[in-house]
Structure 1
Amino acid sequence: MQYPQLPVAAFLAAALVLIPTPWHWRARNVATCGIIFWLFVVNFIYGVNSILWASDVIDRAPIWCDICTKIVVGASFALPICTMCVCKHLEMVSSNRKVKFDHNDKRRRMIFESVMCFVVPLVFMALHYIVQGHRYDIFQYIGCQATVYISVPAILLIWVPPLFFSVLTLIFASLALHHFIRRRITFAAHLQNSNSALTPNRYLRLIAMAITEIIWGTSFTTLNLWNNVLGGLRPYTNWADVHSGFSRVALFPAILLPPRFISMMMLLWTTMPVSAFIFFVFFGFGEEAKKEYTKLWAWIRGNILRRKDSEKAKMIPLSGSNHQKFLKPLRLSTLGSLAFSTTRPTASTTSSTFASAANSDLEKGTPPAYTASSTNSPFPRTPIKRDPDSFSISTLSYYGGAIDSAPVPEHESSRVMVRVGLPA
């Protein structure tokens, strides 16, 4: 039996968990970034192992196995610690103990979470050597796995600490929810006053994610403990006895494993990919995610596809709200040049323009708008009264054309200013 879906699931989980990274990094959420880091690394290791040992149990990468088995052990401690730090911060923000957090408080929190999420797991990775019976095991389909000498010290070092941090997580999460329920009406204002960069929506998503992750992880940690102690505990006699033949690598091809053991092994293997999918569900569809998707698509469109956005400035009708939006950017100086421009067109151009306008009016059976002038002035001196609407439209058309507008008579200029939204 082959399991080609294992590397696909592992690499997909590793890719999805990286998507919410930018906004958590900008917000300096060390605990959440720690969850992302450990889930990505472990799922990447799972994907590589499921490819290297998909069909055999040959020890083809001993250094890789030495490193990745220790990292997986550290992740089993790091993930409960990270979720505990998330819920601890949420409980502190929502409580009445301190209203506002300054720069020093944020700095201390970042240092504390960095030590808890990255240094403490390294300590447990080193302590694992106490109950490490031999180098590592290789199982077909899932690759190399860390070994544990099943004994009382192993229970205290490997399984009790994650369960302890899980219990702390549930306590902090319960207190945070209690604070939220008590002040749910003024909770948004409280978060804003605390200077925590949290919103009620993000607050609830963090709590829901932490509770879901810790329940999921704790269930499988307990299942793994029960599965290992089911056959009984071995006596931890002395160091030499426990670590005898330490360089040995045990190989387990699938043909030698009972079906029940393979099923349990696959069930425990899915813990990390499913945890990554759970994390993405809570943070991959929020408002921050949508904004990041928009930015990413804009970058791909401009830099990879080489497609520019089309011109957004288009002609719009001068009526209703569009009328106000069109005229809003116009400044008083622009309107002044529109109504009282001193630049005049040439005489030949003006004469032909008014001649064509007069001929058009005569063909329609209406008198021309201006009478002919006996002087050589390019503009007539005796205007004929026309409808204010048509005068305003004519003025705006002059503004958009190549010819600057003519001087507006004093009794008409106030009408133009009123129509464009300025005081007369």
Structure 2
Amino acid sequence: MNFKSDPSYPAYPIFSFLGFVLVLVPLPWHLQAWNAGTCLYMIWTSIACLNMFINSVVWHGSALNKAPVWCDISVHLIIAVAVAIPAASLCINRRLYKIANGSMVSVSRQERRNAVIIDLCIGLGIPIIQVPLQYIVQGHRFDILEDIGCQPSQVNTPPAYPLVILWPLMISLVSACYCALTLRAFMKRRTQFSEFLNAANSSLTLNRYFRLMALATMEYLFTIPISIYGLTLWLNHPGAMAPFNWAAIHFDFSRVGIYPAVLWRYNRDNETSVELTRWSVPFCAFVFFAFFGFADEARRHYKMAFWAIARRLGFQPPQKKQASPFVRMPGSKARPQPNSSTSESLPVYAPRTTYNPQRNSFSSEKHVPSVYSSAYHDLESGIDFKTPGSASTFSPSSADIPSSLHHDNLIDPPGIPRAL
């Protein structure tokens, strides 16, 4: 059979490098939202893309042991990333479920810090633990596949399944359970969901919530079939499953396996498994960028970065025309035009007021500063205000307040805390 050196070259290195760059673009504004799961997803995916990019370039058309130290680092990254991306997706699904379930409506700074620590234990701790676990069933130092680069070595022995092989599948199944519970909680509270998001996290909008849910759903929908396919290949391996023996497995551990393309591509199932594994990394990067690289906040940051560079080249952004706040009609006096700078809207939830029978709301004007006194007489709507530095409260009579502004009509939706 005649094998090409690499039918996907140079497409794969190009896509890997683009994935390494693009997946980090939304990182700054996700850091501001304290979303550890999403940040871990971006960082791990970016590291994996860079690792695969270097391997595909250095070992293009070659299977020689050119950089043994780099291969030691590279195989450890491959082992960690195999569970890191599903673990980051689990953190995302877990956070979305807590928001949908209403358990993150009122979160203090300490609680948010604890949530970040838990996400770091899942998305960073599990991948780090995976490296020493893989060493237990590691047959030799590493393998080198032509056109692919460094690959971890693993013996088909019974402990390899619970220690290494089943981890991505198990994590993805837990993510799927969280996703199902999130959808169930959303269906229960769909009419109040926007208020839940505003109360839980001001930086998490409804669109960003559903983009995160779609990203985490796509991750486990692809990870579960690929993991099952790889598990099937291990169970149907041509060689017999070797019983676990530490001395036999780690005998001649410093050996490096060299596999030209004509050998590892000869088995079609083996070739499919290797290609699926390496192409899934830039695929995750582009899927993430498709969800978050064209959002409103992303376009706003792109515009800011563009004009920051353009100003250095002598260009200035076009000035926005501001409409005059006064509109003068023929034969009439100037009257302010209602806009965002001159008029304010009532809050959705008004603060609760308490009635004190010992205090008369119509206090004498000798306790009122002149500024508030004039403002009080010019007031046309029933809005209460309190004089700074004074305990006296001034409010118009009940007859002057429109019926739509009476306190009895300001009823909170059930389950939503009143804004302070």
Would you call these one fold, judging by a TM-score over 0.5?
A: yes
- What amino acid is aligned across from residue 255 of structure 1 in structure 2? V
Please list the CA deviations of residues 9-57 of structure 1 after superposition, one character each: whole Å capped at 9, or x if unmatched.
Answer: 1111111111111111111211110000110001101000000010111
Partner of 1:277: 286
| Secondary structure in 2 matching 1:138 | strand
- What amino acid is aligned across from residue 316 of structure 2 in structure 1? K
Please list the CA deviations of residues 327-386 of structure 1 after superposition, one character each: whole Å capped at 9, or x if unmatched.
Answer: 6499xxxxxxxxxxxxxxxxxxxxxxxxxxxxxxxxxxxxxxxxxxxxxxxxxxxxxxxx
Partner of 2:35: 29
Partner of 1:163: 169
1:16-95 counterparts in 2 under 5 A? 16-95=22-101
Partner of 1:143: 149
271, 292, 297: which one aligns with 1:262: 271
Q: Displacement of 1:76 after TM fit?
A: 0.9
Q: TM-score, normalised by structure 1?
A: 0.73
* Alpha-carbon distance change, 78 to 199 in structure 1, aligned in 2, over 3 angstroms: same
Partner of 1:240: 247
Please list the CA deviations of residues 365-409 of structure 1 after superposition, one character each: whole Å capped at 9, or x if unmatched.
Answer: xxxxxxxxxxxxxxxxxxxxxxx97xxxxxxxxxxxxxxxxxxxx
Are 1:14 and 2:14 matched, yes or no? no
| Secondary structure in 1 matching 2:23 | helix
Aligned partners of 1:222, 1:125: CA distance in 2, in Å?
21
Q: Displacement of 1:185 after TM fit?
A: 1.2
Aligned partners of 1:309, 1:209: CA distance in 2, in Å?
35
Partner of 2:303: 294
- What amino acid is aligned across from residue 309 of structure 2 in structure 1? I
* Alpha-carbon distance change, 98 to 33 in structure 1, aligned in 2, over 3 angstroms: closer
Partner of 1:421: 335
Aligned partners of 1:197, 1:86: CA distance in 2, in Å?
15
Partner of 2:375: none
Aligned partners of 1:5, 1:72: CA distance in 2, in Å?
21
Aligned partners of 1:98, 1:6: CA distance in 2, in Å?
41
2:33/2:204 contact within 8 Å kept: no
Aligned partners of 2:314, 2:144: CA distance in 1, in Å?
48
Q: Displacement of 1:131 after TM fit?
A: 0.7
Give the gaps of 5 or more residues in structure 2. Answer: 337-420
Aligned partners of 1:64, 1:327: CA distance in 2, in Å?
65
Aligned partners of 1:153, 1:240: CA distance in 2, in Å?
15
256, 259, 267: which one aligns with 1:252: 259
Q: Report the aligned-residue RMSD.
A: 2.2
Please list the CA deviations of residues 183-216 of structure 1 after superposition, one character each: whole Å capped at 9, or x if unmatched.
Answer: 1111101221234632221111111110101111
1:136/1:147 contact within 8 Å kept: yes
Aligned partners of 1:182, 1:311: CA distance in 2, in Å?
47
Aligned partners of 2:302, 2:103: CA distance in 1, in Å?
38
Q: Displacement of 1:98 after TM fit?
A: 5.4
Aligned partners of 2:327, 2:82: CA distance in 1, in Å?
60
1:71-220 counterparts in 2 under 5 A? 71-97=77-103, 99-195=105-201, 197-220=203-226
| Secondary structure in 1 matching 2:135 | helix
Partner of 2:366: none
2:168/2:223 contact within 8 Å kept: no
Give the gaps of 5 or more residues in structure 1. Answer: 314-321, 331-387, 390-414
Alignment size in residue pairs: 327
Q: Displacement of 1:138 after TM fit?
A: 0.4
- What amino acid is aligned across from residue 421 of structure 1 in structure 2? R
Q: Displacement of 1:267 after TM fit?
A: 2.7
Partner of 1:396: none
Q: Displacement of 1:275 after TM fit?
A: 1.3
Q: Displacement of 1:241 after TM fit?
A: 0.4
1:17/1:39 contact within 8 Å kept: yes
Instruction: Report percent identity of matched pairs.
Output: 31
Aligned partners of 1:117, 1:244: CA distance in 2, in Å?
33
Q: Which has the larger radius of gyration?
A: 1
2:13/2:56 contact within 8 Å kept: yes
- What amino acid is aligned across from residue 309 of structure 1 in structure 2? P
Please list the CA deviations of residues 221-244 of structure 1 after superposition, one character each: whole Å capped at 9, or x if unmatched.
Answer: 222222233225522332110101
Higher mean displacement: 173-182 or 283-292:
283-292
Partner of 2:324: 326
Partner of 2:314: 306
